[in-house]
Amino acid sequence: MNVSGVWRGAGALLALSVLMTSCVQRREVGLERVRKAGELRWGADAQGGEPYAMEDPDVPGRMRGFEVELADALARELGVRARFVQNDWSSLIPSLERGSFDVALNGIEITPARSGRILFTRPYFIFQLRLMARRDDDTVTGLASLRGRRVGTLANSQAWDLLQREGIHAVPYEGVEEPYIDLEQGRVDAVLMDDLIAQRYGQPRAVLRVVGDVGEGYYAIAVRPGDEDLRAALDVALGHIARSGELRQIFARWNIDSAAQQRMVEWSDAQTREVLAQTQTPHLGWAQWVMFLQAALVTLVVSVLAMALAVPLGVGLALARLFGPRWLGRLASVYVELFRGTPVLLQLYVLYYGLAGVLRLDALSAAVLGLGLNYAAYEAEVYRAGVLAVPRGQMEAALALGMSTPLALRRVVFPQAFRVALPSATNDFIALLKDSSLVSVISVVELTKRMTITAVDVRGWLLPGALCAALYLAMSYPLALLARRLEARLERG
Amino acid sequence: MIEVKDLCKRYDGRAVLDGINASFAPGEVVALVGPSGGGKSTLLRCLNGLEPFDSGSIRVGDDVLEPGALRARGTQVSNIRRRVGFVFQQWHLFAHRTALGNITEAPRYVRGLDAKAAMALGRALLEKVGLSHREGAYPSELSGGEQQRVAIARALAMEPEALLLDEPTSALDPERVGELVELLSRLRDDGLALVTVTHEMRFARELCSRMLVLHGGRILEEGTPAQVLERPRHERTRAFLGLERVVRQEAPGGLEPGTTAVATVFPAATARE
């Protein structure tokens, strides 16, 4: 593809995205749609776990949690049934916008960025932002003591915004347990999360301590713009179950009730308006461009280092399979099948969290190691195929001249195998460049993660998405060109 | 001087070589002939240590190759290979190296010459085989005859005492065979021992001083080409050569030097044994 081809491709992509966006906006209006369907589809992430919404360990497929009971109660008030829709927590809002479900109800905090983007009902729960640190680290005394240090939290949460404002290095996580594991391991200096999460996942850990609560916020139900009547109906329903005492009974059943929750019972519409009045008009500023470039650099560094590990390891594995003693060849085959046959995502999890007790790696090293070990399996097969593709006669001719087997391999077989393997190896490297986005699960902010964070911040996916794609292309295309030139040079022989 | 004593090799229970005794002296050209499956190519490959054998021995000067796995005979094998060059039927030039690169590889990395000396040697050998103008060409850019000459030069670069050629005429245009005879004659005159497997009686008669007829892994008959071709002593040789005569009579105007008519009677003759 030449340069103009690239732009044509990008144009087509843009047109497709616009088309998809406009399709989503054609839909029936809120409450009527819910009543007609006879069900209130609510989006949440079962991975969020207790006490929000999670799969019932005793009855697989059934959900439990205080938000499950809340959804049931609200649906009953609306005269319909509640239906749970699984969705990754970090993309609940975009999924809501594109109509995957009617409401998002999953510990979603009212933040200025969000309230500028979607509708919120009145709050249903008050939470505290709880700061935790290691027991043996007494340097953490509050937010002020953490300036410039690493603090883990969920991306795009209220805690995330607070940390950014305070000039603290916020490390984004996708799950609620992982930040506390990393705090134990010393990979972050503190964790700032909602008290509900801290109680369940942080406080039971003996080596951690509560530094204090540094702010409060509200959970509310997110509704699509345009569904104002649905929001009004949900506000009425919430008010009703709050006043009847049912809301606090639900909280009590899940041990999250406190005197503070009485404010939910006495909540007024005026208070809702006041809370929602704080909206932010987000935009893609210079700071974000710079962060994109930094994230692209992380992607590039992770990919290059991982490949630098995968190539020699792959060569070793291929040699073991081709020329090694039987037991070593077997071992190499097992390695290849194990790493090729299981998801790299799983391998990253095991390496970073699973082995955290034995192998204390920082996130970047774990990312490089995980991707490198995984790609070595693919490289081994590519190189092996390359060696097998060299005709037997070449080896024989070299031996007939008095060369030793290693010399014949080095001077005659491998150079020709390299030529065969180069296109596949290039292909793998480009694939690795993109697969490196998986390392965001172990809290590395690379290009794709930066794109999702920014997209949520600025309320749009199109521009950050296009920017992200352009940066990936800017990295992979020169690589493809370089490989093509090298192939052409080798072609002559 | 190559001396072969009681050489035996079995493969799948069948004797491929069954007590071969022969010697090949400097300055002579020996043709190995006989029907397909008679053991010609196997013998040739044993002489260069490309093929292991079960009993007997091969001596080249003061180096002796004994029976057994080639891996276990590492030094013996590489000594023999340095002293005996091999030119494959399909040449097997290194596809990633130029004509010159093919020739310099072994002197540089096996004999340990420095780059400059290896290049000088390579250029001299290219001149010897008449290909100086093609030194930068890759094998895929060379004709069959040119590739063969590069393969010969590549083998000569190890300064061997003997040169083994596996069916050197089989992939050549008929008009090129004369040039090959001329080149090999010069090498013989330089004092090399040449051993060639061939199905080409005309080629054998023109070039060779001695002919070994192999059948069933044994040497059936031995003598000068004139003796073997005109007055074969053995019935089987007669039968083998009889077919050759049929071809000769059928071919209008007799055989021109280097024609491959035998191959039309022995379809399997051009295939590897």
Check residue A308 and give its pLDDT: 95
CATH number of the domain enclosing B45: 3.40.50.300
What residues of A are in contact with residue B85 (Cβ under 8 Å)?
Answer: 400-401
Considering only the beta carbons, identify the residue of A403, A404, A419 that sits closest to B96.
Answer: A419
**Is pLDDT of A486 > 80?**
yes
B203 in contact with chain A, both atoms CB, cutoff 8 A: no
The answer on pLDDT for B47 being more than 90 is: yes
Cα B90 to Cα A411, B149, B151, distances in angstroms: 20, 12, 10
Q: How many CA atoms lie within 13 A of A37 on its CB side?
A: 16
Q: Say whether A396 and B78 touch across the interface (CB within 8 A).
A: no
Residue B17 covered by a domain? yes
Please give the pLDDT value at position A62. Answer: 85
Whether A29 shows a pLDDT value over 80: the answer reads no
B266 touches chain A (CB under 8 A): no
By Cβ distance, the residue of A393, A399, A419 closest to B90 is: A393
- Whether B136 is in a domain gets the answer no
Considering the domain boundaries, does residue B174 fall inside one?
yes
| pLDDT value at residue A27 | 52
Q: Is B8 on the interface with A (CB under 8 A)?
A: no
> Between chains, do A419 and B78 touch, taking CB under 8 Å as contact?
no
Q: Is B147 within a domain? A: no
pLDDT reading at B268 higher than 70: no
Query: Which pLDDT belongs to residue A444?
Result: 87
Q: What is the pTM of this model?
A: 0.74
Q: What is the pLDDT of residues A242-254, one digit of tens each?
A: 999 999 999 999 9
Cβ-nearest to A400 among B48, B93, B139: B48
Q: Which domain holds residue B185?
A: 2-94+161-270
* CB neighbour class for B72 (10 Å; exposed up to 12, middle 13-18, buried from 19): exposed
Report how many Cβ contacts below 8 Å link chain A to chain B.
66
DSSP output for A305-361:
HHHHHHHHHHHHHHHHHHHS-HHHHHHHHHHHHHHHHS-HHHHHHIIIIITTTT---
Give the mean model confidence (pLDDT) for residues A324-342. 95
The amino acid present at A444, given as its one-letter code, is V
pLDDT value of position A393: 94
pLDDT at B264 over 50: no
Average pLDDT (A210-220) is 92
Mean model confidence pLDDT for chain A: 88
Cα A101 to Cα A87: distance, rounded to the nearest angstrom: 10
Residue of A nearest to B86 (CA): A400
Q: Give the per-residue pLDDT at A120.
A: 92
Residues A373 and A313 sit within 8 Å (Cβ to Cβ): yes
Q: Tell me which chain A residue has its CA closest to the CA of residue B50.
A: A400
As a whole number, mean pLDDT of residues A437-449 equals 88
B74 to chain A: closest CA residue: A404
At A217, the amino acid letter reads G
**Token pair for A12:** 């087509």
Q: Over chain B, what is the mean pLDDT?
A: 86
Among chain B residues, CA nearest to A391: B92
Range A381-390 average pLDDT: 95
Q: pLDDT-based confidence at B126, cuts 50/70/90?
A: very high
How many structural domains comprise chain B?
Answer: 1
Span B42-64, average pLDDT:
92
**Range with the poorest average pLDDT among A28-42, A63-77, A214-228, A452-466:** A452-466
Residue B82 contacts A where some CB pair is shorter than 8 Å: yes
d(CA A441, CA A449) in angstroms, rounded, equals: 9
B171 touches chain A (CB under 8 A): no
- The identity of residue B29, as a single letter, is V
ipTM, two decimals? 0.86
pLDDT at residue B243, rounded to an integer? 61
Q: Which structure tokens are listed for A403?
A: 């060369």
All domains in chain A, ordered by first residue = 27-124+220-277 (3.40.190.10), 126-216 (3.40.190.10), 286-491 (1.10.3720.10)
Compute the average pLDDT of residues B259-272: 39
Whole-number Å distance between alpha carbons of B209 and B211: 7
pLDDT, tens digit, for every residue of A87-124?
988 788 888 988 899 999 999 988 877 887 889 999 99
Would residue B100 count as lying in a domain?
no
Which of A401, A403, A413, A492 should be substituted to probe chain B, the one whose Cβ sees the most B Cβ atoms within 10 Å? A401
B190 in any annotated domain? yes
Say if B236 falls within a structural domain.
yes
- Structural contact between residues B181 and B211, judged by C-beta atoms closer than 8 angstroms: no
Q: Percentage of chain A surpassing pLDDT 90?
A: 55
Mean pLDDT of B103-120: 95
**Cβ distance of A397 and B109 shorter than 8 Å:** no
User: pLDDT tens for residues B141-152?
Assistant: 999 999 999 999
Q: For residue B103, tell me if it sits in a domain.
A: no
